[in-house]
Amino acid sequence: MSTMTASGLRPIRRSDQEWEIPRQGDMRVPAVLFATAELIEAMEDKVFEQAANVATLPGIIGASFAMPDAHWGYGFPIGGVAAFDPDEGGIISMGGVGFDISCGVRTLLTGVSADDIMARQKELADALLRHIPAGLGSTGAITLDPAEMDAMLAGGARWAVARGWGEAADLERTEERGCMADARSEFVSAKAKERQKREMGTLGSGNHYLEVQRVAEVLDPAAAEVYGLHLGDAVVTIHCGSRGLGHQIGTEALREMVATADRYGIRVPDRELACAPVHSEAGRHYLGAMRAAINCALANRQIITHLTREVFATVLPAARLDQLYDVSHNTCKVEEHEVDGRPRNLYVHRKGATRAFGPGHPDVPEALRSAGQPVLIGGTMGTASYVLRGTTEGMGKAFGSACHGAGRALSRRAAGKRWYGRQIIDQLAAEGIMVRSHSSRGIAEEAPGAYKDVTAVVDAADAAGLARKVVRLRPMICIKG
Which amino acids are annotated catalytic?
404
- 293 burial type by CB count under 10 A (0-12 exposed, 13-18 middle, 19+ buried): buried
Of 127, 121, 126, which is closest to residue 314 (Cα–Cα)?
127
- Helices 281-315 and 121-131: crossing angle in degrees, nearest 10, is 140
CB 111 within 8 A of CB 312: no
Return d(Cα 271, Cα 274) in angstroms, integer.
5
Q: Which residues fall within 8 angstroms of residue 357, CB to CB, at 6 or more apart?
A: 363, 364, 372, 373, 390, 395, 400
Q: Residue 31's CB: how many other CB atoms inside 10 A? A: 30
With the CA atoms of 327, 60, 251 and 326 taken in that order, what torsion angle do they form, in degrees rounded to the nearest 10? 0
Return d(Cα 369, Cα 146) in angstroms, integer.
38
Q: Burial letters for 470-479: b for 16+ Cβ neighbours within 10 Å, e otherwise?
A: bbbbbbbbbb
Element (H, E) at 41: helix 37-42
Return d(Cα 98, Cα 297) in angstroms, integer.
14
**β-strand 78-84 against 60-71: which pairing, if any?**
antiparallel
